[in-house]
Amino acid sequence: MPNIKIHTPVMSGEVLDYLDLKPGKTIVDATEGTAGHSLAIIERILPGGGLIGIDRDETSLVVARERLSKFGSACRLIHGNFVDIDTLLENMGVRSVDGILFDLGISSFQLQDVSRGFSFQGDGPLDMRMDKDSYISAYDLVNNLNEEELSTLLWNFGEERWHNRIARLIVQEREKEPITTTLQLANIVARSIPSRYRHRFYRIHPATRTFQAVRIAVNRELEILEEAVNKAIAILNKKARICVISFHSLEDRIIKFAFRKAESDGLINILTPKPLTPAAREVESNPASRSSKLRVAERV
């Protein structure tokens, strides 16, 4: 395996407890990544159990396959989008499962690869595609949407306060030359925000919300989330559980209302009326976990 930093799974202990893992169960990790959660899950469902991992990022799956290789046929990994979870499982002959995990957002494994364009910590191409076979990249959106469309994208998907100013400067700058790299975009965003506000309102880099918004739009992350969760609930066995870890309010809001609707329809019982958050010691050891929230429901 190449010398890379493997993503640290968030709230792993809570996930393992709430999934109620036992030997013989079939569990789906709908956001397989580099197998952070899956490694702990598979050990608790053997003998007789099986893990199915889904991810749209083939590069991450290469790492996951190697890390899980010692478990042989007990682990089956699929390249695909979790919004197709029902079809993907049906094609494998699986019609119902004993637990499903969604760990949303971006992984440190993806962030550290500057060629993917997810981060402004290094200068890379403006890409941000989870699935490299997707047609639309960050470059396409940043260089082709009009000012109003960009502004709306930044507000709807990033809740960016300065969305109008950022969109205006992006349009002005791309008239001079195309915006092709992550640092180009990050610098434009920073320049868009009045200097007196940059440190007052931004404890994080001022481009963080813009990058989040563009990434979400490129990968249709919010657009497909509710549909994916509803499909997942439908294929759970009785008493099986679904765990969803989100990393910003937009995701969490979708999960909250999807769970409430499914509960009102008599499909699930919500086990976490308020989302769980990581313990202080986890945040200290893994700062990336600080914004995470875990919601759990059980199939009726």
In the listed set 168, 200, 219, which residue is the last one of a domain according to the structure?
219
Q: What confidence tier does 105 reach under pLDDT thresholds 50, 70, 90?
A: confident
- The whole domain housing 184 covers 114-219
- Is 233 within the bounds of a domain? yes
Do residues 215 and 226 both lie within one domain? no
Do residues 196 and 239 both lie within one domain? no
Lowest mean per-residue pLDDT among 146-155, 168-177, 204-213, 247-256: 204-213
Q: Would you state the pLDDT for residue 194?
A: 83
- Report phi then psi at 77, rounded to 5: -110, 140
Q: What confidence tier does 2 reach under pLDDT thresholds 50, 70, 90?
A: very low
- Is 122 within the bounds of a domain? yes
- Is 194 within the bounds of a domain? yes
In the listed set 174, 195, 219, which residue is the last one of a domain according to the structure?
219
CATH of the domain at 152: 1.10.150.170
Q: Residue 1: is its pLDDT beyond 50?
A: no
Do residues 25 and 105 both lie within one domain? yes
Mean pLDDT, residues 170-197 taken together: 93
Do residues 63 and 187 both lie within one domain? no
Q: Residue 6: is its pLDDT beyond 70?
A: no
Do residues 140 and 267 both lie within one domain? no
Q: Would you state the pLDDT for residue 76?
A: 97
| Apex 192 CA angle, 187 and 197, nearest 5 | 105
Structure tokens belonging to residue 13 = 């202990």
Task: Give the number of domains in the chain.
Answer: 2
C-alpha 250/C-alpha 158 separation (Å) is: 8
Q: Residue 72: is its pLDDT beyond 80?
A: yes
Q: Would you state the pLDDT for residue 204?
A: 67
Per the model's pLDDT, the better-predicted residue between 77 and 287 turns out to be 77
Other CB atoms within a 10 A radius of the CB of residue 13 amount to: 12
Do residues 121 and 208 both lie within one domain? yes
Which residue from 62, 66, 68, 58 is spatially nearest to 27, judged by alpha carbons? 68
Q: How many CA atoms lie within 13 A of 10 on its CB side?
A: 31
The chain-wide mean pLDDT, for the chain, equals 93
- Is 44 within the bounds of a domain? yes
User: What is the reported pTM?
Assistant: 0.91
Q: What element of type H or E holds 27? A: strand 26-29
Q: How many CA atoms lie within 13 A of 38 on its CB side?
A: 33
Query: What digits encode the pLDDT tens for the residues 206-233?
Result: 899 999 999 999 999 999 999 999 999 9
Q: What confidence tier does 171 reach under pLDDT thresholds 50, 70, 90?
A: very high
Do residues 103 and 120 both lie within one domain? no
Do residues 32 and 168 both lie within one domain? no
- Is 21 within the bounds of a domain? yes
